[in-house]
Chains A and B, each alone.
Chain A
Amino acid sequence: MNLLRRLGRGIGAIPRSGRRLLRRSGARVGLLLLPPMLWLGLVYLGALAALFVTSLWGQNSFTGNIERVWTLDNFRDLLTIEVYRTITLRTLGIAALVTIVDAVLAFPIALYMAKVASPRLQRLMVIAVLMPLWASYLVKAYAWRGLLAQNGLIDSIASPFGLGTPGYGLLATTITLAYLWLPFMILPIYAGLERLPNSLFEASADLGAGSGMTLRRVVLPMAFPAVVAGSIFTFSLSLGDYIAVRIVGGTGQLLGNVVYDNQGAANNLPFAAAVATIPVVVMLVYLAAVRRTGALDSL
């Protein structure tokens, strides 16, 4: 069969040399890859490299123009000035907290979708989880502004219990971000759990494990790469956010705000570039750390 196909190919290839060239794997792959790689390799990687170069440039404090002289001043400021350290740690903390909250919320839902719901219900659930994902990001953040307002829904639900809305601040930012990125955590875990054969659950039960033990010793370890895959998105998206914190964060600031304000109002692009390298480095370290869990294959 294989031989026949190869023969057929050979005969088909003889008449036109151009065709033979295109069918030769290397040339074909090269030609096909050229446009996307020009775009991503040249435009995107080039832009990232230029960003890093810019972070090593200085700024004329008088004119505000970029001075193309090599300096490590931006990174020195970043490391030594107290407020940037605080904001960096705060951003990392919020990103980690959002990731944990999402993982805790997403796991039972994903398990329900994968192992309890009927196939029809599964499809509906995927839609139900995905729809808010495609509802506008801003609209969702804005909706939480309304919910968390002084006379909003949360306030009116909580007031009979003597509680109130947490108001705008870092807690509100964490809640809103966890809400925004929850689908990114549910979907990979769902995909991971769906692949688990049912016989695993049966085997565990037959061997005398209760449902708690089955979850802890069988399901969780096998779903872990999927959880990590989800965490890449929740963590990365939280690290870079500056819009949600402007809407519900009150006066709180995250790294994203520092980047945005420095390239905009302060007009200090080199410093903004230096700040932007923090999330890149954090994400690269994170990606390298989770490589061994096999999470990158389940992206």
Chain B
Amino acid sequence: MRLPVGLRAALTGFTLLVLVVIYTPLLLVVLNSFNADRSFGWPPKKLTLHWWDVAAHSEGARAALWTSLQVAMFATVIALVLGTLAAMALRRTRFFGRNVVSLLIILPIALPGIVTGLALRNAFKTVLGLELSLLTIVIAHATFCIVTVFNNVQARFQRLGGNLEDASMDLGAGPFTTFRLVTLPMLRSALLAGGLLSFGLSFDEIVVTTFTASSQDQTLPIWIFQNLFRPNQAPVVNVVAAVLVVLSAIPIYLAQKLSGGTAKAMTGAR
């Protein structure tokens, strides 16, 4: 590249600086999970593993984790099915409503979370008369997770085209056989990447969740939020937070490997 040396140096320096600022808060969270002092002042005076032990035995945190995993799993399964169907429908077709459909898929994530959350809460409670439960959280999460799967599958279709499936059909395979033996294997890694992103999105969501969860259903983010300001629980929250920081590297690593590193595929529509 032909950027002048001075500009390159300035860009490198600036980028390094911002990366330090990006990672300092996260490292601090991990460090504070070992901080013996409950006020978490800087610098930490004494380190301890005590809070990790307490956190490992925290019933609330464990139950919340299980709820979050269930919600993320069900929401992801729904998003996988609906996102793939939508991507398959829009493939190779240029009908008038195409842009409308794309917009509709992006909308749940493009509108602020309070809007999506309040709209669904109102629909569940006032319009349909449903009790809020795990199911309502799953429905809400699936709604904004569809886009991640849709984007990944659509990108894959664009890259691979339809020749293989045409060949399969020409050789006499029906649409379902072709889907099972040709389309699905072709999409496998795109589905994995989209599914992972969808899982992560759901696992971390709090705004929509606070509107669509009953007071009994605590996902992990809700549990953290409720215990954040309780002095007794703060050290445990720190440990949970540290674990989440460390764990977030895994899906991102996998998604990166699977999606071939295209930024767009990794972020969904966001």
A residues apposed to B, CB below 8 Å? 5, 8-9, 12, 16, 19, 22-23, 25, 28-29, 32-33, 35-37, 39-41, 43-48, 50-51, 54, 66, 105, 108-109, 111-113, 115-116, 122-123, 125-140, 142-144, 146-147, 149, 151-153, 155-156, 179, 182-184, 187, 190-191, 198, 201-202, 205, 210-211, 215, 232-233, 236-237, 239-243, 247, 255-256, 259-260, 263, 269, 272-273, 276, 279-280, 283, 287, 299
With contact pairs A33-B89, A147-B25, A240-B115 given, residues A283 and B110 touching in the complex (Cβ less than 8 Å): yes
Q: List 8 A-B contacts (CB under 8 A).
A: A40-B143, A51-B122, A112-B12, A131-B249, A144-B25, A236-B111, A247-B228, A263-B211
Is there an interface contact between B108 and A201, defined as CB atoms closer than 8 Å? no
The yes or no answer to B82 lying at the interface (CB within 8 A) is yes
Which of B88, B104, B249 sits near A40, CB closer than 8 Å? B104
Is there an interface contact between B206 and A243, defined as CB atoms closer than 8 Å? yes
The yes or no answer to B225 lying at the interface (CB within 8 A) is yes
With contact pairs A41-B104, A47-B120, A130-B267 given, residues A32 and B256 touching in the complex (Cβ less than 8 Å): no
Instruction: Specify the chain B residue showing the minimal Cβ separation from A52.
Output: B119
With contact pairs A8-B170, A40-B108, A191-B263 given, residues A131 and B25 touching in the complex (Cβ less than 8 Å): no
Beyond A138-B224, A211-B4, A279-B111: 14 further Cβ-contacts under 8 Å? A32-B88, A43-B143, A44-B120, A54-B122, A112-B12, A112-B14, A115-B3, A132-B26, A179-B25, A182-B22, A184-B267, A237-B112, A240-B115, A242-B114
CA distance A280 to B115 in the complex (A): 7
Is there an interface contact between A132 and B23, defined as CB atoms closer than 8 Å? yes
B residues apposed to A, CB below 8 Å? 1-4, 6-8, 10-12, 14-15, 18-19, 21-26, 28-29, 32, 39-43, 81-83, 85-86, 88-90, 92-93, 95, 101, 104-108, 110-116, 118-123, 126-127, 139, 142-143, 146, 166, 169-170, 172, 174-175, 200, 204, 206-207, 210-211, 221, 224-225, 228, 237, 241, 244-245, 248-249, 251-253, 256, 261, 263-264, 266-267, 269-270
Is there an interface contact between A232 and B110, defined as CB atoms closer than 8 Å? yes
Instruction: Note all chain A residues with C-beta closer than 8 A to B200.
Output: 134
Secondary structure at the B interface, as helix, strand, loop or mixed, is helix
Which of A22, A39, A126, A183 sits near B175, CB closer than 8 Å? A22
Instruction: Note all chain B residues with C-beta closer than 8 A to A28.
Output: 89
Instruction: Note all chain A residues with C-beta closer than 8 A to B28.
Output: 143, 146-147, 153
CA distance A179 to B169 in the complex (A): 50
Secondary structure at the A interface, as helix, strand, loop or mixed, is helix
Can you list the 4 inter-chain pairs with the closest CB atoms, starting with the nearest? A240-B112, A143-B25, A32-B89, A47-B123
Instruction: Specify the chain B residue showing the minimal Cβ separation from A280.
Output: B115
With a 10 A CB-CB cut-off, give which of B25, B116, B200 has the most chain A CB atoms: B25
Is there an interface contact between B252 and A131, defined as CB atoms closer than 8 Å? yes
Instruction: Note all chain A residues with C-beta closer than 8 A to B253.
Output: 127
In the complex, how many angstroms separate the beta carbon of B64 from the nearest chain A beta carbon? 12
Instruction: Specify the chain B residue showing the minimal Cβ separation from A38.
Output: B82
Instruction: Note all chain B residues with C-beta closer than 8 A to A37.
Output: 86, 101, 104
Is there an interface contact between A283 and B83, defined as CB atoms closer than 8 Å? no
In the complex, how many angstroms separate the beta carbon of B106 from the nearest chain A beta carbon? 7
Is there an interface contact between A32 and B42, defined as CB atoms closer than 8 Å? no
